[in-house]
Amino acid sequence: MTTDFTLTCPIPLSDYPNVTLAHGGGGRLMHNLIDKLFAATFARQAVGAQHDGAVFTASAGRMAFTTDSYVVQPIFFPGGDIGTLAVNGTVNDLAMCGARPLYLSVGLILEEGLPMQSLWRIAQSIASAADAAGVQVITGDTKVVDKGKGDGIFINTAGVGVLTHDLNISPLAVRPDDAVILSGDIGRHGIAIMAAREGLSFESTIESDCAPLADSVLALLDAGIDVHCLRDLTRGGLASALVEIASAGGVQVAVDEAIIPVNEDVRGACEILGLDPLYVANEGRYVAFVPPHQAQAACAIMGDSACIIGHVQSGAGRVVMRSVIGADRLIDMLSGEQLPRIC
């Protein structure tokens, strides 16, 4: 990870300690913000910063393109901030297509009054996360909305990536007997955000798992693993990802609750709040569906905390889980957000 960024904000704080409407007004102040804050931050990357768009050379063959918007509150949380999330989320969506992420756009909607120092920290996070994920931020946009009409900052990122293999990675490629591999422990991002948002404190700080997944996925592909399907676990958690794949692929997915890793602090928080970690959000975990004979090799590539949590069976599009006491039950998608229970 590159760490040679400037630690202080280049916009003189005495002049503008907070974002004003004028910073999005198209005049000198906006250009000042772009030149001093964004262009300086993305100097190595922003080939299109001074133009209406970025021009780049595309390779021949298949490409992947995705977009996502980020509205997290609080904007800074243990283990990351909205900037790291905005890069990793889009990088991970490209990675789940089996693509090598190349370029990102970053659109910022700033609320009048956002501390300039916060914007600077977020820009630095975007640059660091992009470096870590091996992508370039090549174009962007900034708008400012009236105070009270935003939530500090909203970010949209879009990403382009290239596919260097000829696999069709999709739920439709999932086959009976495929192994289901989970890349690590679940639920840390959701609990970290909830703890920060609600002022809940636990014995130790639970940090978000926010991380780029492209290197891990590309390592699987480079090793010749016949990857059938990939899905990063975001809102809705592991349960929703498995239900989506089972349903779209028309297969039954059977998993074993006892094998699914959950960090002790996350488990404790879930027990206290009456939440099921299967449905809690993640930002740096994924599941891979691979042929059974390649499961061990894939698991080794995905890292020390990866584990085979189940397998695919022929049958209706549903997910069955063996509970810790050995009884089978269905896993369904939630109708909305999980809500803490009364008692």
Partner 1 sequence: MKYIDEYRDAAQARRLAAAIADVTTRQWTLMEVCGGQTHAIVKFGIDALLPPQINLLHGPGCPVCVTPVSLIDKAVALAGHPDVILTSFGDMMRVPGTTGDLFSAKAAGGDVRMVYSPLDAVQIAADNPHKQIVFFAVGFETTAPANAMAVYQAAQRGLHNFSLLVSHVLVPPAIETILSSPDNRVQGFLAAGHVCAVVGYEEYEPLAARYRVPFVVTGFEPLDILHGVYMCVKQLEEGRAEVENQYARCVRREGNMPARRLVDDVFTVVSRQWRGIGHIAGSGLALRPAYADFDAERRFGLAAETVEQVGACISGLILQGIRKPAQCPAFGRECTPERPLGATMVSSEGACAAYYRYRRLETQEES
Q: Which residues bind to partner 1, rule: CB under 8 A? A: 198, 200, 258, 264, 267-268, 271, 273-274, 276, 316, 318, 323-330, 332, 334-336, 339-343
Please state the closest distance from residue 274 (CB atom) to partner 1, in A: 8
Nearer CB in complex with partner 1: 129/253: 253
Cβ(301)–Cβ(181) below 8 Å: no
Please state the closest distance from residue 320 (CB atom) to partner 1, in A: 9
Please state the closest distance from residue 124 (CB atom) to partner 1, in A: 33
User: Both tokens of residue 230?
Assistant: 């990939």
Q: Which of 4, 30, 287, 12 is nearest to 143 (CA)?
A: 30
Nearer CB in complex with partner 1: 74/274: 274
User: Both tokens of residue 90?
Assistant: 């889009």
Nearer CB in complex with partner 1: 53/336: 336
Nearer CB in complex with partner 1: 93/265: 265
User: Both tokens of residue 23?
Assistant: 């910073």
Nearer CB in complex with partner 1: 34/194: 194
Distance CA 314, CA 4 (A): 52
Q: Which of 184, 163, 198, 174 is nearest to 272 (CA)?
A: 198
Please state the closest distance from residue 312 (CB atom) to partner 1, in A: 17
Nearer CB in complex with partner 1: 80/190: 190
DSSP string, 55-100: --PPPSS-EEEEEEEE--SSSEETTEEHHHHHHHHHHHHHHHTT-E
Please state the closest distance from residue 198 (CB atom) to partner 1, in A: 6
Please state the closest distance from residue 28 (CB atom) to partner 1, in A: 38
